[in-house]
């Protein structure tokens, strides 16, 4: 039996990797992928803790998150695609139309 | 004895409705309707006044008609009402205001026939008459003050009627500001009376109740009397606040007639007569009233002697005649003062309307050095002006003779022989400058510009002249020596209000003869100077250059006021109030608020980088901080 703390620790590590990816990387596709990593880190925590507590709620939420993530991937990729068509770049630093 | 007489309210209602009609419907209704309504409402008010007057005559002497319209102010124990009272004194004043006012309104129809703004004109005129009627009919000091302020406002509106002329607008403001000084005195006087009564637990400003409690006023009588006198000098154009009246002539001429004759300037005399019980308590204040009146009468008469603008001569003669009224009430001869108010309303109203007729005929010419020999071409104006001149010069048989003689006689009888002597000299000056005016305009050689088509005025203007002309002749006959016509009917009618005149000595025949002699000297010297030797006046002016210049420039009083008060006020208004308070302080706060928001926005907008990752980082920091806070809470517990 793998100890509970392993799951939680792995989840935290994955989440921090995702955060670091979102904040530090400049390619918006990579940023997008980092968001997926963060979502899945949370999913891992949910199923692990759900099993520990003997509750189905964790798995229900995970399915829910996966659904949202699928929709988000479709919308997000579409946005990235149209941004690239207009600006010929996927560099987040250059996408600053909202600047003061 | 008093009786309820609700119809008194109609005297105010008619002019009020006329004002509202002219303001809101006047321009749409057209000139015909305005010409009907404007004078009509004042005439209706006059008819109602006549009705009340006949009711009053039928009642025993000393009676009064009253109506209480509605409660006005209730504050603690103080209570006052909108209530009107028609006793002998206010009946006389109301008849003058509505009667002479109606005639002047009628004349205005002709005078303003070529003016586009007739609706506004009649609206102001109706409001003016309304304010004056409120003033004379009020049964308490506070309501009187409402009318008092009303005439001040209307005089401003009418003097500056042709407001697109900057000088006219300035003169209107001047009248308003000078009156404001007097009004401050009036308010302080009211408060002095109120506080003196309140100390005894009496809370009232009602005239009848004030008179009942007049003993409580004794300690403050002098102070209250002098403060109210300051108000009276403002409205009635006495030294030191007379400066607005000569400049008030820039309004349409019927306005001058209304201000000088029927309304406004008589307010001060009326107020002092109304509060006679207060003034009789204080010989000091009475003496001040008499001295101010006498000095003003003489001073204004000397200025009138050399002026060449026909309306300016009349303006100074008004100030001079008002001085006589103050002399009368100051000597305790209240009835004589009010009598002169009445006869003056007739002949001064007439003089201004005649002047208006001349100015109308000469296309706005007001300078007497460009008139002369008009009598043949304007016979009605000439005849009526002659009647008015004889009246104001106190020629026996004409109205002014009886009133001025009564004032001088009673001033003498009251023991003020010095004031009486000045009054006699002023009577001579009056005859001189009035006949000078008459000779310069109607006699001698014509100096009228050849392009003017001199013509007699239309009937709508000459009928008022004739009405007032007749009144100027016969108006004084109501107060004759005992045994003639009705005897002293006027003073007897007012006696229940004022009580009998308290003489300190008798005035012999010589006293009356002295006034006649002065008038004769004035007339003869005017005849010699302006008919026999028309070159002589210029010669005298050249010989006494310094004196002449001082008189022409009106003793430099306006200049002195400007130097002492005007400059200080303008400096204070411009530097301290305008630039200091308004521009720097108030604008500073408003603009500073805007500038502060703009500047802080300039700094904080730098955080809006447009870089989504920076936003994410800030969001992360915030989230971590919140989580850290809760973790900390859990750890501490």
Q: Residue A27: closest CA among chain B residues belongs to which residue? A: B613
Pair B412, B339: CB distance under 8 Å? no
Contact yes or no for A92 and B606 at CB 8 A: no
Q: Which pLDDT score is estimated for A85?
A: 92
Cα nearest neighbour of A22 on chain B: B613
Arithmetic mean of pLDDT over chain B? 89
Nearest to B77 by CA among B201, B246, B180: B201
Neighbours of B541 (CB within 10 A): 15
**Other beta carbons less than 10 A from residue A9's beta carbon:** 11
Structure tokens at B605: 């907008």
Tell which residue, B336, B174, B339, has the closest CA to residue B249: B174
Structural domains of chain A, ranges and CATH numbers in brackets: 4-88 (1.10.287.3510)
Q: Among A15, A23, A100, which would you mutate to test the B interface (most chain B Cβ atoms within 10 Å of its Cβ)?
A: A100
pLDDT at B484 (0 to 100) = 72
Task: Considering only the beta carbons, identify the residue of B605, B608, B611 that sits closest to A92.
Answer: B611
**End-to-end Cα spacing for chain B:** 92
Among B606, B610, B616, the residue with its CB nearest the CB of A96 is: B610
Q: Which of B598, B602, B613 to mutate to test the interface with A (most CBs of A within 10 A)?
A: B613
Name the residue in chain A with its Cα closest to that of B618: A23
Strands B78-86 and B64-75: antiparallel
Q: Is A92 on the interface with B (CB under 8 A)?
A: yes
Has the ipTM of the complex gone over 0.90? no
pTM of structure: 0.80
List chain A pLDDT tens, one digit each, 100 residues.
788 899 999 999 999 999 999 999 989 899 999 999 999 999 999 999 999 899 899 999 999 999 999 999 999 999 999 999 998 888 888 887 777 6
Does B611 sit within 8 Å of A93, measured CB to CB? yes
Contact list, A19 vs chain B (CB under 8 Å): 620
Q: What is the pLDDT of residues B416-465, one digit of tens each?
A: 888 999 999 999 999 999 999 999 888 888 888 777 778 888 888 889 99
Q: Which of A23, A26, A99 sits opposite B608 (nearest CB)?
A: A99
Contact (Cβ atoms closer than 8 angstroms) between residue B380 and residue B465:
yes
Longest dimension (CA), chain B: 121
Q: Say whether residue A93 is in contact with chain B using an 8 A CB cutoff.
A: yes
Place of tokens 């008819």: B47
- Lookup: tokens for B130: 């309304």
Residue B611 and residue A31: Cβ atoms within 8 Å?
no
Tens digit of each residue's pLDDT (9 = 90 or more) over B460-493:
888 999 999 999 998 888 887 776 777 778 888 8
Instruction: Answer yes or no: do A100 and B606 touch at CB < 8 A.
Output: yes
Three-class DSSP category at B383 = helix
Which backbone phi and psi does B73 adopt, to 5 degrees? -125, 130
User: What pLDDT was estimated at residue B507?
Assistant: 65
A contact test, residue of B601, B602, B610 with most A CBs within 10 A: B610
Which DSSP symbol is given to B535?
T
Q: Which residue of B has its CA nearest to A25?
A: B613
pLDDT category at B60 given cuts 50, 70, 90 is confident
What is the least distance, in Å, from the CA of A1 to any CA of chain B?
Answer: 29
* Contacts for A59 with CB less than 8 Å, ≥ 6 apart: A46, A47, A50
Percent of chain B with pLDDT over 90: 48
CB contact under 8 A, B611 and A96: yes
In this predicted structure, the answer to whether residue B506 has a pLDDT above a threshold of 80 is: no
- Closest residue on chain A to B609 (Cα): A99
Contacts of B610 in chain A (CB under 8 A): 96-100
Query: Does residue B124 surpass a pLDDT of 90?
Result: yes
The alpha carbon of residue A100 is apart from the nearest alpha carbon of chain B, in Å, by 6
Comparing CA positions, the residue from B340, B490, B358, B508 lying closest to residue B430 is B340
pLDDT in tens, B71-119: 998 888 888 999 999 999 999 999 999 999 999 999 999 888 888 888 9
Among all residues of chain B, which has the CA nearest to that of A19? Answer: B620
Q: For chain B, what's the residue count? A: 637
Cβ <8 Å between B610 and A22: no
Interface test with B, best of A18, A35, A98 (most B CBs within 10 A): A98
The answer to whether residue A35 neighbours chain B at the CB level (below 8 Å) is no
Please spell the DSSP secondary structure of B438-493, one letter per residue.
HHHHHSSS----TT----PPPHHHHHHHHHHHHHHHHGGGGB-STTSTT-BHHHHH
């Amino acid at each position: 039996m793998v100890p509970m703390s392993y799951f939680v620790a792995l989840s935290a590590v994955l989440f921090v990797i995702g955060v670091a990816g979102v904040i530090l990387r400049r390619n918006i596709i990579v940023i997008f992928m980092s968001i997926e990593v963060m979502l899945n880190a949370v999913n891992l925590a949910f199923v692990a803790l759900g099993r520990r507590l003997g509750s189905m709620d964790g798995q229900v939420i995970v399915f829910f998150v996966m659904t949202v993530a699928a929709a988000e991937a479709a919308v997000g990729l579409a946005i990235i695609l149209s941004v690239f068509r207009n600006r010929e770049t996927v560099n987040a630093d250059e996408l600053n139309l909202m600047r003061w | 004895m008093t009786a309820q007489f609700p119809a008194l309210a109609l005297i105010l209602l008619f002019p009020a409705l006329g004002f509202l009609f002219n303001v809101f419907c006047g321009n749409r209704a057209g000139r015909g309707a305005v010409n009907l309504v404007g004078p009509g409402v004042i005439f209706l008010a006059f008819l109602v006044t006549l009705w009340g007057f006949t009711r009053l005559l039928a009642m025993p002497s000393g009676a009064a008609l009253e109506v209480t319209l509605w409660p006005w102010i209730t504050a603690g124990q103080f209570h006052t009402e909108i209530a009107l009272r028609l006793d002998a004194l206010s009946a006389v004043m109301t008849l003058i205001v509505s009667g002479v006012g109606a005639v002047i309104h009628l004349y205005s129809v002709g005078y303003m026939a070529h003016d586009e703004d007739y609706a506004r004109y009649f609206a102001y005129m109706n409001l003016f008459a309304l304010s004056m009627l409120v003033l004379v009919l009020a049964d308490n000091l506070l309501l009187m003050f409402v009318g008092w302020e009303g005439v001040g406002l209307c005089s401003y509106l009418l003097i500056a009627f042709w407001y697109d002329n900057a000088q006219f607008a300035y003169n209107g403001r001047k009248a308003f500001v000078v009156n404001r000084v007097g009004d401050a005195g009036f308010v302080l006087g009211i408060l002095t009376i109120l506080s003196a009564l309140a100390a005894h637990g009496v809370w009232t400003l009602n005239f009848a109740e004030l008179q009942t409690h007049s003993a409580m006023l004794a300690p403050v009588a002098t102070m209250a009397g002098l403060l109210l006198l300051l108000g009276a000098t403002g409205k009635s154009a006495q030294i030191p606040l007379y400066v607005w009246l000569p400049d008030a002539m820039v309004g349409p001429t019927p306005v001058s007639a209304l201000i000088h004759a029927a309304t406004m300037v008589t307010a001060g005399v009326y107020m002092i007569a109304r509060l006679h019980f207060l003034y009789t308590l204080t010989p000091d204040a009475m003496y001040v009233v008499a001295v101010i009146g006498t000095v003003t009468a003489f001073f204004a008469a000397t200025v009138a002697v050399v002026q060449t603008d026909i309306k300016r001569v009349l303006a100074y003669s008004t100030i001079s005649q008002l001085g006589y009224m103050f002399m009368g009430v100051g000597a305790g001869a209240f009835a004589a003062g009010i009598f002169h108010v009445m006869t003056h309303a007739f002949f001064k109203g007439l003089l201004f309307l005649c002047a208006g007729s001349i100015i109308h005929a000469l296309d706005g010419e007001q300078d007497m050095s460009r008139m002369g020999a008009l009598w043949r071409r304007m016979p009605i104006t000439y005849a009526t002006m002659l009647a008015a001149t004889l009246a104001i010069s106190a020629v026996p048989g004409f109205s002014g003779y009886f009133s001025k003689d009564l004032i001088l006689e009673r001033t003498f009888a009251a023991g003020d022989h010095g004031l009486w002597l000045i009054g006699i000299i002023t009577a001579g000056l009056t005859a001189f400058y009035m006949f000078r005016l008459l000779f310069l305009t109607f006699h001698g050689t014509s100096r009228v510009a050849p392009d003017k088509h001199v013509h007699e005025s239309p009937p709508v203007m000459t009928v008022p002249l004739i009405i007032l002309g007749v009144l100027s002749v016969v108006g004084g006959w109501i107060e004759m020596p005992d045994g003639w016509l009705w005897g002293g009917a006027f003073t007897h009618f007012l006696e229940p209000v004022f009580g009998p005149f308290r003489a300190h000595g008798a005035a012999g025949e010589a006293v009356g003869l002295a006034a006649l002699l002065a008038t004769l000297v004035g007339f003869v010297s005017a005849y010699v100077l302006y008919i026999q030797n028309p070159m002589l006046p210029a010669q005298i002016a050249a010989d006494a250059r310094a004196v002449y210049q001082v008189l022409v420039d009106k003793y430099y009083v306006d200049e002195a006021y400007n130097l002492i008060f005007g400059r200080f006020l303008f400096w204070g208004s411009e530097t301290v109030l305008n630039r200091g308070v308004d521009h720097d302080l108030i604008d500073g706060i408003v603009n500073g608020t805007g500038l502060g928001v703009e500047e802080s926005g300039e700094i904080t907008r730098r955080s809006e980088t447009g870089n989504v990752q920076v936003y994410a980082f800030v969001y992360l920091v915030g989230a971590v901080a919140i989580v850290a806070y809760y973790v900390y809470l859990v750890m501490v517990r």
